Amino acid sequence: SDIGSQKDRVVTEEEWLQKWEMGNIGFHKEQVHPLLQKYLDVLLNGRNGLRIFFPLCGKAVEMKWLADMGHSIVGVEVSEQALKDFFTEHNLPYCEEPVPEISGAKKFQSASGNISLYCCSIYDLSSSIVGKFDGVWDRGALVAVNPCDRQRYVNLMITLMEKKSSYLLVTVSYDPNKHKGPPFYVPDSEIKSLFG
Ligand code: SAH
């Protein structure tokens, strides 16, 4: 398949912030993703109280859903508006604090302590800052990353995973010559080579 038309496309952080400002967020869904419900057992694999990572989290409702099941959630998102909207829309009190290791970054944490959302670029994170995770929900994340940054993104994700963690990845399949993305088309063959 030819992904040539997308491989040089770049969406800047500024453009993402603008999408949030304009309410141009068709990617946000009010209902828990049906594939997360379907594959929840694969993610949990019989375990309780997991640390679950949401890369490029937006205001994904699945964060609340999994937190309500007793898991702790860490997300990262460049849009402060998205993170504030998340807590407000779920009526969750939260506090806001700087992240000493990352200049300009903020951490928003639910008062109950089980949801921590970092406002910064995912590329600013490392396991020494956020620790490692038992599970990852990657929907609208790998497919939103600029094609030129995919390997960097995946290498980072691998460093954030515990030995026995599970990673649920949602991709979209379409003709990349007909839409410019995001979401970008990431063929299965590329996913295999990215994750090794
Ligand atoms: N995963 C979410 C949002 C998908 S849209 C969901 O399922 O609804 C992709 C999100 O990534 C946008 O909210 C955008 O602001 C954010 N984003 C883009 N580049 C980023 C980066 N480098 N670091 C952190 N967040 C980023």
- Transcribe 66-120 into DSSP letters: HHHTT-EEEEEES-HHHHHHHHHHTT--EEEEE-TTSTT-EEEEETTSSEEEEES
What is the CA angle 79-148-102, rounded to 5?
A: 40
pLDDT at res. 165: 97
Query: So what's the pLDDT on residue 95?
Result: 98
Residue 8, domain member (yes or no): no
Choice from 59, 73, 78 to test ligand 1 binding pocket (greatest atom count within 8 A of CB)? 78
Residue 149 three-state SS: helix
What 3-state class would DSSP assign to 187?
Answer: coil
Residue 6 lies in a domain: no
SS3 52: strand
pTM of this structure: 0.98
Tell me if 27 is assigned to some domain.
no
Number of folded domains that form the chain: 1
Instruction: List Cβ<8 Å contacts ≥24 apart for 96-100.
Output: 99/129
29 labelled binding-site residue? no
Report the Cα 113 to chain-centroid distance in Å: 19
Confidence (pLDDT) at 167: 98
Which portions of the chain are predicted below pLDDT 70?
Answer: 1-3
**Separation of alpha carbons 57 and 77, rounded Å:** 6
Residue 7 lies in a domain: no
Residue nearest to atom 10 of ligand 1 (CA): 56
Residues with CB under 6 A from ligand 1: 16, 27-28, 56-58, 60, 76-79, 82, 121-123, 139-141, 144
Ligand 1 atom at shortest distance from the alpha carbon of 54:
1
Q: Considering only CA atoms, which residue is closest to atom 13 of ligand 1?
A: 58
Residue 135 lies in a domain: yes
Residues contacting 191, CB < 8 A, separation 6+: 142, 169, 171
- Residue 4 resides in a domain: no
Task: Residue 105: give the domain boundaries.
Answer: 13-22+32-41+48-195
The pLDDT of residue 3 is: 65
User: What does the pLDDT read at residue 1?
Assistant: 47
Is 127 inside a domain boundary? yes
Is residue 2 domain-resident? no
- Rounded Cα–Cα distance for residues 34 and 17 (Å): 27
Is 102 annotated to bind ligand? no
* Distance (Å, whole) CA 3 – CA 100: 40
The CATH number of the domain holding residue 74 is 3.40.50.150
CA torsion sign, 16 to 97 to 150 to 152? positive
Say what angle helices 150-159 and 188-195 make with each other, to 10 degrees: 50
User: Would you state the pLDDT for residue 5?
Assistant: 80
Helices (H), 148-187: 150-159
Q: Collect all residues with Cβ–Cβ distance below 8 Å to 111 and sequence separation of at least 6.
A: 92, 93, 94, 95
Residue whose CB lies within 8 A of the most ligand 1 atoms, among 24, 77, 168, for a mutation test: 77
Type of residue found at 65: W
